[in-house]
Amino acid sequence: MAGILDVATIEFSEKGLSGARIDEIAAATRTSKRMIYYYFGSKEGLYLAVLEESYRRMRQIEGQLHLEDLAPEEALRTLVGFTFDHHAGNPAYIRLVMSENMERGSYLAQSKIIQELNVPAIKAIRLLYERGIASGAFRRGLDAIDIHASISALTFFNVSNQHTFGLIFKRDTQTPEAVATRRANVIDMVLRYVRK
């Protein structure tokens, strides 16, 4: 089943829900359409399973960062760097999220586990932030979900808009030097936002 999800991730991320074809997923996984429908119920069911698995994978890796073992600033630096690297290394994930936003979140709204998958991420940021306040490093009055949104926005854009941004400004944003500079700047922006 993992092989089906991997192939479907590529298919849905490249073509969106409406353009993806179960025939192509079945052929690439050497299975049958009937077997895919048996496990996932429908094309939309497979799409939702792909979305959930994409979020689950990210949150699973994120949970292995052991942020609680690091000083607050180092923990935040680690989290932002991880998020940046995850997004840069997983453009299919970014395209899936963009596709689901084009669907106005209607499939994730049907998920019974999506909120549960994301609770640990917000809890980790909340605990990290509270430790930062207690140590005197972070300012008061910020919201963990807003911090998460800021990290997501700054790291997501580099992948989602790389083609249009590079074209408009005649800049290759994907050279190793450009990526390293952008990564450092994003980490710095988030840290400056929360610092006292």
Summarize pLDDT for 21-76 with one digit per residue, the tens: 999 999 999 999 999 999 999 999 999 999 999 999 999 999 899 999 999 999 99
Any domain includes 144? yes
pLDDT at 1 over 90: no
For residue 175, the enclosing domain spans 50-194
Evaluate whether 151 touches 88 at the Cβ level (below 8 Å): no
Please report the pLDDT score of residue 14 as a whole number: 95
Q: Please give the share of the chain, as a percent, with pLDDT higher than 70.
A: 99
Q: Which of 182, 139, 138, 140 has the alpha carbon at shortest distance from 159?
A: 182
pLDDT at 2 over 90: no
Rg of the chain (C-alpha set): 19
How many structural domains are present in the chain? 1
Any domain includes 188? yes
- Overall average pLDDT of the 159-187 stretch: 95
Any domain includes 185? yes
The CATH number of whichever domain residue 118 belongs to comes to: 1.10.357.10
Question: The tokens of 55 are what?
Answer: 């979020």
Summarize pLDDT for 143-159 with one digit per residue, the tens: 999 999 999 999 999 99
